[in-house]
Chains A and B, each alone.
Chain A
Amino acid sequence: MKRIAVFGYSLMSLEVIKQLNEEQYSYIFIVKNESEALLVAEQGFDTKIIDFRNDEAIKSVGIGENIDILFCFYPKDSDNVFLTISARALDNKLTIIAIVDDPESAEKLLAAGANKIIDPYEICGRKTHDMLAKPDITDILDNTVFGRHDLHIAQIEIPKNSPLQQTKTSTLLLAGTYNLIIIGVVDKVSFDTLHFVMDEKEHTLNTGDVLVVLGPARDIKAFKEEIDAVTGI
């Protein structure tokens, strides 16, 4: 189970937690005052009142020790930049996700060491455009993949000694066997490049490659379990 520290109590922080699978993550909320702490505690989360400007206080939350992911959700960009710099100095491997109010602050947050910048207004603008440009597709995906239905996209890493190693993507027929559709493969060597299964260039699977699949949760789970069982994980 991964541990997440959420700095800043807002609509956004509550929404993120609502979207995450509660079985996979545990949370600690860092709030400003007693009244906020009460509100968060009512929702069933651990809370702590600390001053994020103090490194010792940040350490006391578990950053640099047991915190895997940090959410910088303060309304002021300067606060998020300061928190990001402090946290990055304490833990180099920490995943830091920060929201940004002024788009100009995005570069500063990245420079401070954030892994992902979230601009809610930009995301909303893009989403609206997607709805306009591709109403059918966004409607289907919103109702299935991103909605309440049991249809998901997943990324499955090819483990060591997997029978799938050296298999060509065109010969992977998961649709009939596992009820999964492979969208593509992300090559371990060129991590950013997604090779689509239907591409003319044949891709041979290697250890560490990531399969991007679409399907019902139970079928994704069954496929993962089968791979892990064969490789003895």
Chain B
Amino acid sequence: MLTQLILALVTFQQHSPYYKKTKQFFYHLLEAPDSRLKSRFDKAMIVSVLFSVFLLIDEVDTPASSFERIFEHLLIALFILEYLLRAWLHSDVHHIILTQYAKALYLNHPMQWGNVAKMIIAQKVAYMLTPLAIIDLLAILPSFRSLTVFRALLIFRLFKLFRYFKSLRLFAEVLESKRFELYTLAIFLSFLIFIGSIGIYFFEHAANGLQVRNLFDALYWSIVTVTSVGYGDIAPQTTGGRLVAIGLILTGFGVLSFLISIIVSAVNDKMHGLRENSIYAELKHYKSFVIICGFGRVGQHIAKQLEKHKQHFIIIDNNEINAMNARHLGYLVIHADASKNEVLINAGIKQKASAVLCTTGDDVVNVYITLTSRYLNSSIRIISRANHPQNVKKLYQAGADNVIQPFEIAALVVAQYIGKPVAFEAILGVIREEKQFIMETLPVCAGSMIDGITIAELDFEHRKLMLIGVVSANPTHRKHKNSYALKNQHFYFNPPPFFILRSGDLLVVLGREIGIAYFREQLKNSNPKESKR
């Protein structure tokens, strides 16, 4: 009966969207590394902790006011709640129960509730024994004023700041990564201090009994000397004692230099990964962005254009110099091989990336990146550069939506410049929105005000717009002349006044930005689906 009840409860938890949503919310609040909610919570906690420490220090010589007491109680309640929530987030109890139940069912064994309880407790205890969880717990204790000894634990409340400051956490991670070197150094240092303490005690206790009274004085002197602090309150008087001091000072310098070099090299090792992590975190804040693979000449110009139009992008380049150039220009760069699945996945090809541009100077690499990108995301837009005409087809086969050939495009510009420079500049200006007038496409949605009406009825002249043509896949338009085949549809240039617009058609209009935006808004409002939203 109890088993059935527990199972019903955990199954409910497993399938309840409310439970999932709640847990997700607290995960974003407390744990998710790139969550904005967590960032705000951390900032609030830093201020609260510092304020509470200030109040606790103030209480040392002045009695606490009622406000201070209420604040302290509220903060402790928050600390306890945070501690419990983190323990809850650490592992899913219902998941353990359901997994064990499934195992028991499969093996046809009765459910071993004792084992399940042990597993749950083990996981929760494992959390409680993590350094940060211990600090959390110790940070709560100073509030128990009746126990004076706990007040000394006030320092742990400051340690709690480790949890909220990213850079402090990072420093702890750096130290953690060099654990072996630091252990070695600590053992060597302990050995050195031990020899120094024994040495100074041996030489000085008899001759300088007033200063080196016992082994503790000798230990204190050794630590002060080896760390190059040297208070001078204890000074060796004998030759033997002074020789020990010289030895300790010289080796102390060595140990200190070794410690610094370990920390510097650890920070250096971590820097590459950290830089990339910060890039990935920044990418997650963007609604959409473009991935540029290759920061050569073409990549540089694309980045310049995207930057000019305030569009977000990330550069991936395997070449150290190219990556450094991009970094100097202030762009987001990943120094890695863009043809690797992991690199593109980390860069967000499956999430918010809207397009991949393969712009390296090597067609082989471009084909490989194109193929990888298409494999990872079947719907993403891929534009690839072909340096040789014979590779254009291969790039399309690999999955590129568009292939650009630098010399072909440049040749087109030269050809257009010779024949009709003014007209060409005009049309380029319109495309690039450098002129007052722009060219845009407007869709004809089913049920909107323009669905089923003629061009004449639309009266573009009155709207101060110019209709260049209509793009459509609708076969009913085939009877019209001036039809040009596009990929799967046709472009009807200068359609006659009796041309009836159908849903799915795309109007190509020229006009001022404001005029086009106004017309677009009218179309949107007249669309039954859009107006419902």
Partner of A124, one of B385, B491, B506: B385
Asked whether, in the complex, the Cβ of A149 is within 8 Å of the Cβ of B301, the reply is no
Asked whether, in the complex, the Cβ of A184 is within 8 Å of the Cβ of B426, the reply is yes
Asked whether, in the complex, the Cβ of A194 is within 8 Å of the Cβ of B385, the reply is no
Check B155 for interface membership: any CB of A closer than 8 A.
no
Residues of B within 8 A of A131 (CB): 383, 402, 404
Name which residue of chain A comes closest to B411, CB basis: A15
Among A18, A129, A146, A154, the one with the most B-chain Cβ atoms within 10 Å of its Cβ is A129
Asked whether, in the complex, the Cβ of A214 is within 8 Å of the Cβ of B408, the reply is no
Asked whether, in the complex, the Cβ of A149 is within 8 Å of the Cβ of B413, the reply is no
Query: Distance (Å) between the CB of A154 and the closest chain B CB?
Result: 6
Partner of A16, one of B299, B383, B402, B414: B414
What separation, in Å, do the CA atoms of A125 and B306 have in the docked complex?
10
Residues of A within 8 A of B424 (CB): 153
Asked whether, in the complex, the Cβ of B385 is within 8 Å of the Cβ of A116, the reply is no
Query: Distance (Å) between the CB of A32 and the closest chain B CB?
Result: 19
Residues of B within 8 A of A127 (CB): 404, 409
Among B427, B487, B508, the one with the most A-chain Cβ atoms within 10 Å of its Cβ is B427
Asked whether, in the complex, the Cβ of A129 is within 8 Å of the Cβ of B422, the reply is no
Asked whether, in the complex, the Cβ of A186 is within 8 Å of the Cβ of B508, the reply is no
Partner of A123, one of B381, B409, B431, B493: B409
Given A121-B406, A141-B427, A183-B510, residue A198 in contact with residue B418 (CB < 8 A):
no
Asked whether, in the complex, the Cβ of A214 is within 8 Å of the Cβ of B468, the reply is yes
Asked whether, in the complex, the Cβ of B415 is within 8 Å of the Cβ of A130, the reply is no
What separation, in Å, do the CA atoms of A216 and B481 have in the docked complex?
11
Given A130-B432, A136-B506, A153-B420, residue A183 in contact with residue B426 (CB < 8 A):
yes
Asked whether, in the complex, the Cβ of A97 is within 8 Å of the Cβ of B426, the reply is no
Residues of B within 8 A of A87 (CB): none
Check B67 for interface membership: any CB of A closer than 8 A.
no
Name which residue of chain B comes closest to A68, CB basis: B418
- Within B289-339, which residues are at the interface with A (CB < 8 Å)? 290, 296-302, 304-306, 309, 311
Given A120-B407, A124-B298, A179-B482, residue A19 in contact with residue B427 (CB < 8 A):
no
Check B464 for interface membership: any CB of A closer than 8 A.
yes
What separation, in Å, do the CA atoms of A138 and B471 have in the docked complex?
13
Interface residue range, chain A: 35 or more
The majority secondary structure among interface residues of chain A is mixed
Interface residue range, chain B: 35 or more
Given A16-B411, A138-B431, A155-B423, residue A97 in contact with residue B418 (CB < 8 A):
yes
Residues of A within 8 A of B199 (CB): none
Asked whether, in the complex, the Cβ of A212 is within 8 Å of the Cβ of B423, the reply is yes
Check A217 for interface membership: any CB of B closer than 8 A.
no
Given A134-B431, A179-B494, residue A128 in contact with residue B436 (CB < 8 A):
no
Asked whether, in the complex, the Cβ of A198 is within 8 Å of the Cβ of B464, the reply is yes
Name which residue of chain A comes closest to B354, CB basis: A132
**Per-residue contact bits, chain A 181-202, to B (CB 8 Å; 1 contact, 0 not):** 1011010000000101111000
- Within B472-491, which residues are at the interface with A (CB < 8 Å)? 482, 484-487, 491
What separation, in Å, do the CA atoms of A12 and B387 have in the docked complex?
11
Give 30 A-B contacts (CB < 8 Å), ordered by A residue.
A15-B410, A116-B421, A121-B297, A121-B300, A123-B406, A124-B385, A124-B405, A125-B302, A126-B305, A128-B404, A129-B305, A131-B404, A132-B290, A132-B381, A133-B311, A136-B508, A137-B508, A138-B431, A140-B471, A144-B491, A151-B493, A153-B424, A155-B423, A183-B423, A183-B510, A194-B426, A196-B437, A198-B437, A198-B466, A214-B493
Which 8 residue pairs spanning A and B have beta carbons closest together? A125-B301, A15-B411, A19-B415, A121-B297, A120-B410, A129-B305, A124-B406, A136-B441
Other than A69-B418, A146-B416, A181-B494, give 14 A-B pairs with Cβ distance below 8 A: A12-B410, A19-B411, A19-B412, A20-B419, A116-B421, A123-B406, A124-B409, A127-B404, A137-B441, A140-B471, A153-B427, A154-B420, A184-B437, A198-B512
A positions within 8 Å CB-CB of B: 10-12, 15-16, 18-21, 24-25, 69, 71, 95, 97, 99, 116, 118-141, 143-146, 149, 151, 153-155, 175, 179-181, 183-184, 186, 194, 196-199, 210, 212-216
